[in-house]
Amino acid sequence: MENTAEFSCAYCGEPNLTFVDVSAGGQQSYVEDCQVCCRPNVLYVVIDEDTLDIEINSEYEG
């Protein structure tokens, strides 16, 4: 099951919309390029098991 969530780019600060696969676990991390500046962001995803609320923190890759 996929849900959408928003994160702010660690480089340019612009909001980005991403798909999160909630069946992949409550804590995930992966790299996704910013849709505005194209730089790679490391995303740390936490999913609340009860409400399925998604929190995403991003940081610079490298």
Per-residue pLDDT at 1: 65
Residue 45's domain comprises 2-60
Q: How many domains does the chain have?
A: 1
Query: What does the pLDDT read at residue 62?
Result: 77
> Tens place of pLDDT for every residue, the chain, 62 residues?
669 999 999 999 999 999 999 999 999 999 999 999 999 999 999 999 899 999 999 999 87
Q: What's 21's DSSP letter?
A: E
Predicted model pTM: 0.90
